Amino acid sequence: MSGGVDSSVAALLLKQKGYDVVGVFMKNWSQNLAGGECAWARDQEDARKVAAKIGIPIYTFDFEEEYKKRVVDYMLKEYAAGKTPNPDVMCNKEEKALSLGADFVATGHYVRRSPEFPISNFQFPNDTEIAENFGIENSLKIENYKLKIAKDQNKDQSYFLWTLTQEQLKHCLFPIGDYLKSEAGGAEEQKRRSIRETARKFGLPTADKKDSQGVRVFEIANSGKSGTD
């Protein structure tokens, strides 16, 4: 839960479906390291308010060191090489793919996940070595998952998640993939299936919070380098 409306509604929808939901707020950057204002504390407080509203526990995990090493350093290295990196892709690959001991990890990404061509009772012909090399049983049900563009194509984030493996996708949930961000258009059904209208209906404190812009402006202490999103 980032403290934004998307992850807030994602948590709400899962709670309504009967999942045992636990909120996780990831602290990736701090004011002291950034050398300027960083809104993580406000976002954390918003996430706590949402968790209290829908009746779920929430925990904060400090990934600041990992975020700098695996995301920020990568981004600066790519900029220095004259390339245009996408830090959100690396963030999802390196951090958000962690299971943290849960059966599923759910996010507020605008994307849909669907099984593709499930194969039941597959057997490797007289060769268990192949199965052993892949760490799977000789006879099993194989499920492949495919990321699909979100219903709200203007907000689609499927490209942020292209690095996720099949094993990771098996444990991912994307509750808002069939929702629109706003109720623009006027149709009654469309209003009911919008993120902001859903948040307002259930009184979530993030209902009208502005969208975040991903990686905020930052400055790496003692590096002489800076970057923006």
CA within 13 Å, CB half, 11: 28
Tokens of 76: 């600066």
The three-point CA angle 96-101-102 to 5° equals 80
CB 175 within 8 A of CB 14: yes
Tokens of 57: 């526990």
Residues 6+ apart with CB under 8 A from 45: 3
pLDDT at 127: 52
pLDDT at 137: 54
The sign of the torsion formed by the CA atoms of 221, 227, 228, 229 equals negative
DSSP 119-174: EEEEE-TT-HHHHHHTT--SEEEEEEEEEEE-SSTTT--GGGGTT--HHHHTTEE-
Give the CATH class of 5-109+152-227: alpha beta
CB 220 within 8 A of CB 228: no
Per-residue pLDDT band at 121 (split at 50, 70, 90): low
Residues 6+ apart with CB under 8 A from 48: 25, 58
More confident residue, 201 or 69: 201
| Statement: residue 69 has pLDDT above 60 | yes
Closest CA relative to residue 5, chosen from 123, 155, 130, 146? 155
Q: Where are the domains of the chain?
A: 5-109+152-227
Per-residue pLDDT band at 101 (split at 50, 70, 90): confident
| pLDDT (tens digit per residue) in 9-49 | 999 999 999 999 999 998 876 655 444 555 788 999 999 99
pTM for this structure? 0.71
- Chain mean pLDDT for the chain: 76
Buried b (16+ CB within 10 A) or exposed e, 37-49: ebebeebbebbbe
Q: Determine the length of the chain.
A: 229
Percent of the chain with pLDDT strictly greater than 70? 62
More confident residue, 142 or 179: 179
Per-residue pLDDT band at 159 (split at 50, 70, 90): confident
| pLDDT (tens digit per residue) in 194-227 | 999 999 999 999 999 988 755 543 444 334 444 3
Partners of residue 24 on adjacent β-strands: 59
**What distance in Å separates the CA atoms of residue 12 and residue 106, rounded to the nearest whole number?**
11
